Amino acid sequence: MDDAVRFRDQSVTLAGVEGHNLEVPSANPLNYHQAINDPDGCEPLLADGKLFLPPADHPLPLVMVVPGSLGVGESHLAHAATLVAAGYAVFVLDPFGPRAVESTVANQTQYSFAASAFDVLAALRVLASHEAIDATRISAQGHSRGGSAVLTAAMRAFADPIVGADLAFAAVYAVYPWCGHQFAHPEIGTTRIRAIVGDRDDWLSVQQVQSQVQAIGLVGGDATVRVVGGAWHSFDRDEEVYEIPEASVAPAAPTTYIDQDGAMIDYRTGQADPTLTDHAMFMAAIDSDLGRWGAHIGSIGDQADLFREDMLAFHASVLGT
């Protein structure tokens, strides 16, 4: 795939199904507080992606695939092809092209994590109204930064002001998600969540992923986590493990909690501040010498096969086939 060409401008066919562009009216909130309290006042953005619809005489269950910090890549399209071949409709969201962003690997603050989650919910709203899609059987699968986005989109405190209390994902599959931002009261309603992460992941804190899932369970949500032994970040890729030296990471940084109003709670003071942004909290970690350069991606042995099996089993358990 030519990275110089926007995803919407490429011709993509997966498992014999041609992808068609779908526009998604979204936004660029400065932070979670603005997204929750003034969703209509956020800077508007027209996001997009490609919808793959297998032939069917009835509305289909759908899986939304949300990429991570490197944007839509061959691995995401391979997973989408696997899902299409299994009988699901698939929507591959491109959060980078509409923002003229190529990668957030070296700088995660080019747009907010709240904006990432806003895109996911905006896409849900469009997809749920599509006549070929079963609105009650839509799952979101996010990788890395995309995993963070789909988890946040499942939080009712975030979703209700944006799409209303009656619209929700049936399931969220969070693939090695960064969980440095967590809602203090992570109610998810009826959505079922599964996270999967490798225990050698050096982009993020595995313990933060575990604590996020545990917290969801403690407030009554249906959430599970699988930690894959010996696996690095992006262990779903069919490629050997290698280092990305320009990756800016801080896996040892404290968790930033978010109150129900969307204000970040400054871990240095314990006070919620609606003006805080991702950049401010990332800089706090850097000032404490918690940031570093370099992290790894890739798989070993049959880890990519293990992932595909887990992916298909989870979606089938919620959406059917």
Decide if 28 contacts 110 (C-beta within 8 A): no
Q: Does 55 reside within a domain?
A: yes
Span 187-198, pLDDT tens digits: 999 999 999 999
Segment 297-301 shows an average pLDDT of 98
Cα–Cα dist 117/220, whole Å: 22
What 129-133 contacts at long range (C-beta under 8 Å, 24+ apart), as own/partner pairs, is 130/51, 131/59, 132/53, 132/56, 132/59, 132/60, 132/89, 133/59, 133/60, 133/61, 133/62, 133/89
Question: What's the rounded Cα separation, in Å, for the pair 321 and 316?
Answer: 6
Is residue 98, in this structure, part of any structural domain at all? yes
Whether the predicted pLDDT of 3 surpasses 60: no
Q: What is the pLDDT of residue 1?
A: 41
In a domain, 2, yes or no: no
268 assigned to some structural domain: yes
23 φ, ψ to 5°? -90, 145
Report if residue 257 sits inside a domain: yes
Please give the residue range of the domain that contains residue 290.
Answer: 7-319
User: For the domain that residue 172 is a member of, what is the CATH number?
Assistant: 3.40.50.1820
Contact 61, 188 (CB under 8 A): no
239-266 pLDDT tens trace: 999 999 999 999 999 999 999 999 999 9
pLDDT at 103: 87
Average pLDDT, the chain: 96
What local confidence, expressed as pLDDT, does residue 60 receive?
98
Asked, for residue 199, whether it belongs to a domain, the answer is yes
Residue 28: band (very low, low, confident or very high) from pLDDT cuts 50, 70, 90:
very high
User: What's the domain count of the chain?
Assistant: 1
Least confident range of 71-80, 105-114, 202-211: 105-114
Is the pLDDT assigned to residue 135 strictly greater than 50? yes
- The answer to whether position 1 is within a domain reads no
Work out the pLDDT band at 209, boundaries 50, 70, 90. very high
Banded model confidence at residue 27, pLDDT cuts 50, 70, 90 = very high
Beta bridge partners of 223: 193
Mean pLDDT of 13-34: 98
- Kindly state whether residue 249 falls inside one of the protein's structural domains: yes
Q: What integer pLDDT is reported at residue 251 of this predicted model? A: 96
Residue 221 above 50 pLDDT? yes
- Residue 2 has a pLDDT of 44
pLDDT tens readout for residues 52-90:
999 999 999 999 999 998 889 999 999 999 999 999 999
- In the chain, % of residues over pLDDT 70: 99
